[in-house]
Amino acid sequence: MGEEWWRRRRFFRPFEFIDEMMREFERWFEEEFRRFEREWPKELVREVRTPTGVRREIGPIVYGYSITIGPDGRPVVREFGNVRPSRRGELPALTVEREPLVDMIVEDEQIKVVAEVPGVRKEDINLTVRDSRLIIKVDTETRKYYKELDLPEEVEPEKAKATYNNGVLEVVLPKKGGGPPPRTIKVE
């Protein structure tokens, strides 16, 4: 909308300004979408043959957050998904691995971790406890999840139990004093 637009303004038509503004917005949106598409991880883009031709699918692209009240009475915001917001004017960071939504419940005798990892089999879930950290990892052709959790206390990995049902993983880690060696936990 340079000088030419201002010259045409003398013969103003009621909706011409709005039409031109909408065309400019559409051009900007298409440019930004193409720029964003170039930055996507290639693993999230696939072509599917259909009876009417080839269709390009993109995703999954997931972003969400959960807000809870912490023990100090302040809100705790936890993000999940494979999109990370960025600074204004920059493209959001997009990864192949999705960060699952996770809740950690600290009880007297144990720490319970509940994670949403839908669309996988229990055999695909890898759980590792290392240096007061629980690592949840799934790496299949269609789904990839990854999350590292700092555990608030030392645990006994050899007594840990994990169950998986309807996309929800539950890991129960008994508390312990002292540093445990790394151990893989079997999902039942």
Q: CB 57: neighbour CB atoms within 10 A? A: 10
Question: How many other C-beta atoms lie within 10 A of the C-beta of residue 172?
Answer: 19
- What's the chain's Rg over C-alpha atoms? 24
For 154, residues 6+ apart whose C-beta sits below 8 A from its C-beta are: 132, 175, 176, 177, 178, 179, 180
pLDDT per residue rounded down to tens, the chain (188 residues): 566 665 665 555 667 778 888 899 999 888 887 877 777 777 777 788 889 988 888 777 888 888 888 778 999 888 888 887 777 767 677 788 889 999 999 888 899 999 999 999 999 999 999 878 999 999 998 889 999 999 988 898 899 999 999 999 999 999 876 545 667 888 88
Domains of the chain, residue spans: 100-185
**Element of type H or E holding 36:** helix 16-39
The pLDDT of residue 118 is 92
Cα→Cα distances 148→61, 109, 121, Å? 20, 22, 20
One CATH from 1.10.357.140, 3.30.70.270, 2.60.40.790, 1.50.40.10 for 100-185? 2.60.40.790
